[in-house]
Structure 1
Amino acid sequence: MGRFNKNSISAKNVQTIFNFLKLSLAFLVAILIVVVVIFLCADEPFSTMHYFFLSPFDSVRHMGNIIENATPVLFTGVATCLLFSAGDVTLAGEGAVYFGGFVASAVAVSLPIQNDALKIIALLTGALVGILIAVLPAFVQNKFKVDSFVFSLLFNYVLLYIGSYFLNYKLHDYSYKSGTATAPFPEFAVLHSLIPKTSVNVGFFIGLLLAVGAWVFSNKTKWGYEAKLLRSNPHFAKYVGVNVVKISLIAAALGGFVAALGGGVEILGKAPRFSWTALPGYGWDGFMVATLAYYNPILVPFAALFLGYLRTGANIMNLYSNIPLELISAIQAVMILLIASKAMLNKSQQRMIEKQTRLRAQQEEKSGEGA
């Protein structure tokens, strides 16, 4: 039996191995695309590659830019893992990020609090509103059988129009001539930079803690186990007594809280005032980061930092070469297509599973004969 454990690989481990191979292949293909495009388009390809691949690490400021770019997608990546943990496919994270940032900003410029409690109250208020935003699509799907994906997609624009109305007619600072924005945030509402000349703040470390917390929820709690069961086999989950509505709402509430908190951290940590006149897109980025991490919250920080690295390199490359920023969008799309592709490496994976199954059967047969 010891030989059985040593020489055979379970189907779960085979899946893990091939997930890693698929991720590695996606990264390699993406990097290859970068190199090919640079050689085809850049006037000085070797210098351009240096800007893209190495410049993000050539100074403390640039490394801070990696963290700065990773922070919002860290929050939305964790939020997406939670939102999808019970099997619901929803885009509520995008609306929660936007409205969480808006509510946090509104609280920051409205309350006459002259201490650090202001930023805590602003962030928590925005995060609590995010719970309502994410729970509504889940509730409507469970109660009225309205698809949560479609509902959340449309509801995001309702939130945008509500925020735009208040920004234009209630909170607009008319003394600001560079666009539509609120009054400047008070000093006590701002998340101050930890690295000079960057916007890196305590929000990144809050995001790391939330990633660990989301992993604990998914892997160490009864609710997390029930959410996994519901996602993998809804009919069996109902059969064994899982409260489908309760678990769906809990997953949505946690995801909405994290996404909206990320919106508040982003706006209070980066901008001097709220000026978002469109959905920021971080919810979509979170979906991509969660896909890169295979919806494992503990891997989300690594995926977020990788995306932050790509964007920092692209920004530097764009400053010193003729390669446009749109290259990164194309690379991201290719990576997601490769990782999400169910056909990539499937034949090799199936052959390995069949081989391991035959090996286990032979070992069990030998063990039976020996007994």
Structure 2
Amino acid sequence: MKKVLITGAAGFLGSHLCDRLIKENYYVIGMDNFITGDKKNLEHLNKNPNFEFIEHDITEFVKIEGGLDYILHFASPASPIDYLKIPIQTLKVGSLGTHNLLGLAKAKKARILIASTSEIYGDPLVHPQTEDYYGNVNTIGPRGVYDEAKRFQESITMAYHRFHGLETRIVRIFNTYGPRMRLNDGRVIPAFMGQALRGEDLTVFGDGSQTRSFCYVDDQVEGIYRLLLSDYVEPVNIGNPHEITIKDFAEEIIKLTETNQKIIYKNLPINDPLQRQPNISLAKKVLDWTPKVGREEGMKITFDYFKSLTDEELFKSEHKDFKNHIKK
């Protein structure tokens, strides 16, 4: 049985990856410090003999006993509310944390897959975004702490590959959704669904003409798994290219939730991307991957998940108190 370490294991994507790798007969070590992750996402694995959990901050030295075949690095705040509240920690997990894991992969002779993001493209001047586009990022803007952490993460990963011969993979993740997303984390889908379920009007930033492309979590995990086992070392976009404006998407949510909320408009945040759509030609070619779950089907599953939350989970304004995690 091969052994894999998954950082950010208690997060949305990390927990789904734990499930998938266990299903594929791997022994999974999950690691998280719960700065944004949730223990509830892993409760169903507590008694699984092929799963163990280590609570740890990967910006500190990472030690794993015995052999290790793979590392999937998914530890990072990933929503605007998170990384705007904890900017230093966001930069540290992308730099120090990634450095620690690359060193661990080198010591263990393990293959490491790094979770990058479509945000490395910034507010793109190329549409749809291809892997050879270098991006349009404001390094000193408020979003720069996340965007630049991920760009550095890609750079140091490729440096370890070229200099040390380390087996590396890089996935550029576009907007992904599904069960276990956090309400009130600033991302479009949980924000809209939370507002609809609470009877609040839906908040659209700007005039709603900006676009996003949403990929269901099962499709995203399939793409990541194929990339992990592939021979391709440079970044690969994984996302659903079906593009929609935020205004039209808000109207879809109102229809799906059968609510009578209005759409209200607020100022667009600084450097918020106006267009986001992946070109997935490379993923089709090297991974034989395309998304299978349509938005109508995926959104219904996701809405059913949010409807199952307790009133306490639905109405609390924030998921975490970050103060206990912030270090000088």
TM-score (normalised: structure 2): 0.26
TM-score (normalised: structure 1): 0.24
Larger helix fraction of residues: 1
Larger radius of gyration: 1
User: Relative contact order, CA 8 A, sep 6+: which one is greater?
Assistant: 1
Larger strand fraction of residues: 2
